[in-house]
Structure 1
């Protein structure tokens, strides 16, 4: 324990008396000091919070007891944000009227080539605009979205499709197990922070049947999302043991003419692996 010498005690006593005198004789000055002190403390706490949030999220995500906390997985454009986004208007993304959306849907259908899929998963289905288009190619289609309101509207839109089910899911923690012949990720994976996407990619791969396709398309502009579209596709190509069936960038479309990138990845079958097949482009 530290002991204060008489000299220190005298100095401390003088300081306390000076503050007390200032408080009595100049109340405005002491009030200003208090306000500045509070402001500095508040700024310090905010700065500390911003610095500590990323490592805290990374640590907490590894704990089984908190895996139901949505904010850990979707810190920016999470469930609450999307519920507000859908609350006051129908089709807030313009999926049925936006030329960019029409272009990407048409290109996706072209690349799917009329193939028939026994089981398919659409991640980020919104109100079901593309789900309705791709449903005829699927024996069973599970469409999921983070927003309860979007899911409710998608269910109404798709109610006459007996082969389609729509569920609320916050990914990656609510990832359906599958397996699937087709997984669609259209303008959705760049909402995930990079560390979350890296952890999520193996689960996407595991949910594919041999010969199954992982189809990703993302806008290449910047609107404040957690990741850039190019980075998402580079990570997918680098970290997944899937063959590249198709990969292209489409320019001069979407806000600012930023364009989009579309990639179709195929899970090798046992025969392909046995023949020494690896990651290849078709």
Structure 2
């Protein structure tokens, strides 16, 4: 390993440790610190994703950043198998309590940048919600690119990726679109992209639906686009 690679590896370990410590500290304060079950933003975001997937069945879904399993529980109702990954062991413990007895779900503690899918799982649905901006840091940029490449490679023909990330201003919105563009560089096609508002105003969510090049042959993206249109609230005048 040359010095540059060694430096990048050490920076990744450091950043992973810092992020894990931060998330464990947040989740140790109280249950549901991000108000997944009560905030207008999270409700609008989850509803938009859930509505977009309504009526479809998936073989194996990957949820990156599952936290306490609130959306994982919903995802398990439309997928035969769910692999749910999070960096916080404290959050995953609560997810395990919520999903106890659900044999469809496998919970994994880990950093997506270092989880190399040793079992060679293939997914027909991958969801990344409010996770990529934690990884989009200048010191560890090479690892974000590598991670996006691996995620794209794990996607089955006909598979879908949903990106759902918050933004509060035009600059942040441009960065969220940048995440989608990074996936497009690996051959994924944008099927739909909408801004998900919420009744309280403030922070909104950019929801991007990407498909593999073979997805159009599977006969499902048209219905998904219609459902996304219906799920996204109209901006208030």
Q: Who is 1:84 aligned against? A: 25
Does the aligned pair in 1 maintain the 2:41–2:197 contact within 8 Å? no
RMSD of the alignment, in Å? 2.7
SS across alignment from 2:76: helix
Residue correspondence of structure 1 range 1-282 to structure 2 within 5 A: 59-60=5-6, 70-72=13-15, 74=16, 78-176=19-117, 177-193=120-136, 195=141, 196-221=143-168, 228-237=175-184, 239-251=185-197, 257-269=202-214
- State the TM-score, normalized to the length of structure 1: 0.66
Does the aligned pair in 2 maintain the 1:178–1:208 contact within 8 Å? no
Q: Report Cα offsets for 1:38-63 as digits up to 9, x if no partner.
A: xxxxxxxxxxxxxxxxxx9x743655
In structure 2, list runs of 5 or more residues that go unmatched: 218-224, 226-237
In 1, Cα distance between equivalents of 2:192 and 2:179? 15
Structure 1 residue ranges (4+ consecutive) displaced by more than 6 angstroms after TM superposition: none
Higher strand share: 2
Q: Computing the radius of gyration over CA atoms, which structure comes out larger, 1 or 2?
A: 1
Does the aligned pair in 2 maintain the 1:70–1:170 contact within 8 Å? no
Does the aligned pair in 2 maintain the 1:253–1:259 contact within 8 Å? no
SS across alignment from 1:257: coil
In structure 1, list runs of 5 or more residues that go unmatched: 1-55, 273-281
Q: Report Cα offsets for 1:120-147 as digits up to 9, x if no partner.
A: 1100000000001111101000111000
In 2, Cα distance between equivalents of 1:92 and 1:133? 19
